Amino acid sequence: MFGRIFKWSGGGASDGPPGNFRVLIIGKTGCGKTTILEKFCGAKIADAPSEKRGLHNIEKELVAVNNKGFIAHDSRGFEAGTDAEFKRVTSFLKKRETMTDLLQKIHIIWYCIQADCRPIQQAEIKFFAKRFIPVVVIVTKFDCLVQDYMPDDEDVSGPDPYEEATDKATENFHEYYEKPLKAMPEPPDFVIKLSKGSFRFNRMFNPY
C-alpha cells in the first residue's frame, strides 16, 4: 500500500526529505485517533492540551518527537444534522490538493469509526459518495466488540469463549462495517479493524 501511496504522491518512501507523509485522521473525539497516531509513530503526539482547551484546528500539524517524517492533521468527525465539519474537511482537502509542494498535500485519510458505537451512518454515506484521495477506514476498539460477545459466565469445559467471541465480532465487522463501506459509490481503499493491543496496524502500514 505504501508503494501505491508514494507513487500517487509522486515521492518515494525512502528517498524523500523529512515530512513526506501527511495524514488526515478523521473520527469522533474518544474513538482512538491519538492512540493510533502514537502507536504508528512509537512516540507521544502532542495534541491533548489543545483538544482539552477546545482549540481544535484541522490545520494544526501533529508531529511525533522521534518521527519528523510523519505529520498528521486531526478532524473530529461528522456530527449528524450539521455540515460544518464536513465542509471544513472538504475545503481543507481541496486547498491541500491545489498546493504544488508535494509535502503539503494530504497523502492518505485514516477515517476512524469506533466499533462498539454505531453502525454506518449518513456521514459515511456522504463521505464515500465522492473520491478524495486514498482512504483507509479504521474500525477502532475492536476489543470492545469482542468483549460484548463474551459470555457472562465462563464454562471452563466448553470451547474457548474468547475465540468464539472474536469470531462473532469479526463476523459483525464484516457484515456491518466492511460490507456496507465497500458497497459505497466510492468505497475506501481498505477497511481494517484495530485493537489497542494489536500489532496488525503496524504490519499493515509499516513499509519495512
Ligand X SMILES: Nc1nc2c(ncn2[C@@H]2O[C@H](COP(=O)(O)OP(=O)(O)O)[C@@H](O)[C@H]2O)c(=O)[nH]1
By a kind-dependent CB cut-off of 5 to 8 A, residue 42 interacts, out of ligand X, Mg ion, none, with: none
Closest to Mg ion by CB, 85 vs 189, is 85
CB of 127 to ligand X, least distance (A): 17
Closest to ligand X by CB, 20 vs 108, is 108
Distance CA 40, CA 182 (A): 25
By a kind-dependent CB cut-off of 5 to 8 A, residue 12 interacts, out of ligand X, Mg ion, none, with: none
Closest to Mg ion by CB, 51 vs 189, is 51
Closest to ligand X by CB, 33 vs 73, is 33
Alpha-carbon torsion 115, 54, 188, 3, what sign?
negative
CB of 33 to ligand X, least distance (A): 3
C-alpha cell at 84: 460544518
Residue 5: C-alpha distances to residues 23, 107, 111, 177 (Å): 11, 7, 16, 23
CB of 63 to ligand X, least distance (A): 15
Give contact residues for ligand X (rule: CB under 6 A). 27, 29-35, 140-141, 143-144, 195-196
Residue with the shortest CB distance to Mg ion = 34
CB of 158 to ligand X, least distance (A): 25
Single-letter amino acid, residue 144: C
Give contact residues for Mg ion (rule: CB under 5 A). 33-34
Distance CA 83, CA 62 (A): 24
Q: What are the strands of the beta sheet with 21-26, ordered from one edge?
A: 62-64, 67-75, 21-26, 108-114, 135-140, 190-193
By a kind-dependent CB cut-off of 5 to 8 A, residue 27 interacts, out of ligand X, Mg ion, none, with: ligand X
Torsions phi, psi for 193 (to 5 deg): -115, 155
By a kind-dependent CB cut-off of 5 to 8 A, residue 18 interacts, out of Mg ion, ligand X, none, with: none
Radius of gyration of the chain (CA): 18
Closest to Mg ion by CB, 11 vs 28, is 28
CB of 23 to Mg ion, least distance (A): 13
Helices (H) and strands (E) in the chain — how many of each?
9, 6
